Amino acid sequence: MTTPQAGWFPDPTGAFEHRWFDGQKWTDNVATNGQQSTSPVDAGPGPVQASNPQQLAKQAERAGLTPTGTTGGGTVFSEPVLVVNQKMKLIEVSNQYSVYDQNGGQIASVSEIGQSALKKVVRLIGEYDQFFTHRLEVRDMQGKPVLHITRPAKLLKSKVIVEKPGVGEVGRLVQQNAIGKIRFGLLSASGQQVGELRAENWRAWDFAIVDEGGTEVARIKKTFEGLAKTMFTTADNFVIRIHRQLEDPLLSLVVASALTVDTALKQDSRGFN
């Protein structure tokens, strides 16, 4: 276990969404829904990195998606391998993820935003996630939002809207079928299909992402989190390998695919896992 570098992390007091850790201690700087303020803290030592580099490397290795000597630029848009670990919770009332590079360094965090107290209560007492709109915010390690991902309420098929701060909508993931191996069309903001997300088994553990010509550009694989966690918690871990450098909108849609597989498909029933 290691102490992370300076950055925004989930507030250990639970009063705010994020609190700034300066590399040695928690500070009074906090943020909720992108609005920064200050609040005194007495939260003890700093955050402990969720997994050490060796564990994350083994996770990527188990997924069979390790790159061949390729190095990245330290962001979700430039790393060839992303290791996405969901925060382990016995009861899930919000979605929280940490995103790491192939060497175990955290490069982003993902948090659900805009939840009302009533929505949290309803999520606590029943499996009604599919009837709610979910909004995720992806932040880099300086706390800057880099993606906004929205999955509107659904009945049978999911739709995921992907936006970039200062740019607006860059595209959508649109579920194409409800029976069999799940497929999502990757569409630009203008509605042009630029790729497809294809589940390779009915349990939706492994996915191939192809471009508009059908060439595979990325692969997502769920890594088994252990029997006890599978039975009693809602933690899901995924590894994504991006085969080559992509351009937007496909790049942002591929990254969003890796971060929303759980929200788009798996929030509605533990039976899909």
Q: Transcribe 182-203 into DSSP letters.
A: -EEEEEETTS-EEEEEEESSTT
pTM over 0.85: no
* Mean of pLDDT values over 158-178: 94
Main-chain phi, psi angles of 160, to 5 degrees: -125, 125
Residue 191: predicted pLDDT: 96
User: Pairing relation of β-strands 81-86 and 96-100?
Assistant: antiparallel
Q: In what order do the strands lie in the sheet with 7-10?
A: 7-10, 18-21, 26-32, 35-38
H/E segment holding residue 251:
helix 250-261
Main-chain phi, psi angles of 10, to 5 degrees: -55, 135
Instruction: State pLDDT tens for residues 32-79.
Output: 877 899 988 765 555 545 445 566 666 666 666 655 556 678 899 999
Tally of CB atoms within 10 A around 227: 8
Q: Please indicate whether residue 196 or residue 14 has the higher confidence score (pLDDT).
A: 196
Which residues, listed in sequence order, are joined to residue 165 by a DSSP beta bridge?
none
Q: What CATH topology corresponds to 53-272? A: Porin (2.40.160)
pLDDT classification of 231: cutoffs 50, 70, 90: very low
Helix (H, G, I), strand (E, B) or coil at 231: helix
Q: Chain-wide mean pLDDT for the chain?
A: 76
Q: Please indicate whether residue 251 or residue 57 has the higher confidence score (pLDDT).
A: 251
Tally of CB atoms within 10 A around 3: 12
For 33-144, strand residue ranges (E) read 35-38, 81-86, 96-100, 106-112, 134-140
Residue extents of the structural domains in the chain: 1-48, 53-272
Tally of CB atoms within 10 A around 2: 11
Instruction: State pLDDT tens for residues 117-142.
Output: 544 444 444 454 555 788 889 988 87
Instruction: State pLDDT tens for residues 93-104.
Output: 355 788 888 877
For the cut 60, the answer to whether the pLDDT of residue 147 exceeds it is yes
